[in-house]
């Protein structure tokens, strides 16, 4: 990585040129946005924002009917969350490309990483789950780590960070 020091600012080649942020409106995914901002990849970075509409597979597996209205409502809700996140990032000077995709989060994120040539995936992870719940349900993040072929940054909740540890925003 080449850099030129001008005063106290570093100017150089961006470490990651293509970044994908997984976003669903949750506090954890807002932490992923915060991590992107803290990373400060520069104006040459291509930032992709992915909102995944995850249809309730539990209902589909049980053979229950899921009303089309509920599915449309979920899509509309995700579109709103994605629009809000886009506005935040654009307001901070990022050039953002939105992707609203439908399916299982691991499958669609893996596909986006491959198709877009993503170098860094940023996602939030809920750390408040109990051990029993993580064991019973498994971890989407663990499966994703095995499937994607890029670097992954797992964002910690800003409130959960220890004082004095890591860089400050």
Residues of 65-86 as b/e, b for ≥16 C-beta within 10 angstroms?
eeeeeeeeebeeebeebbeebb
The Cα 142–Cα 103 span in angstroms is: 18
Which pTM was predicted? 0.75
| Structural domain spans, the chain | 14-160
pLDDT in tens, 11-61: 444 588 999 999 988 888 899 999 999 988 888 889 999 998 876 554 554
The pLDDT value recorded for residue 8 is 44
pLDDT in tens, 72-131: 788 899 999 999 999 999 999 999 999 999 888 889 999 999 999 999 999 887 766 555
pLDDT in tens, 136-165: 455 565 677 888 889 999 887 766 554 444
The Cα 79–Cα 44 span in angstroms is: 26
CATH fold group of domain 14-160: Rossmann fold (3.40.50)
The Cα 136–Cα 129 span in angstroms is: 11
């Amino acid at each position: 990585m080449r850099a030129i020091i001008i005063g106290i600012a570093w100017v150089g080649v961006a470490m990651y040129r293509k970044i994908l942020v997984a976003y669903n409106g949750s506090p954890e995914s807002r932490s992923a946005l915060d991590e992107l901002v803290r990373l400060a990849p520069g104006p040459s970075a291509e930032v992709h924002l992915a909102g995944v509409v995850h249809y309730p597979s539990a209902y589909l597996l049980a053979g229950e009917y899921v009303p089309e209205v509920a599915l449309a409502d979920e899509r509309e809700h995700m579109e709103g969350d994605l629009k809000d996140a886009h506005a935040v990032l654009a307001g901070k000077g990022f050039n953002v490309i939105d992707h609203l995709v439908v399916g299982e989060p691991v499958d669609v994120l893996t596909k986006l990483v491959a198709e877009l040539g993503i170098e860094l995936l940023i996602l939030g992870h809920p750390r408040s789950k109990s051990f029993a719940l993580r064991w019973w349900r498994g971890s989407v993040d663990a499966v994703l780590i095995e499937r994607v072929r890029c670097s992954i940054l797992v964002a910690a909740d800003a409130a959960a960070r220890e004082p004095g540890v890591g860089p400050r925003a």
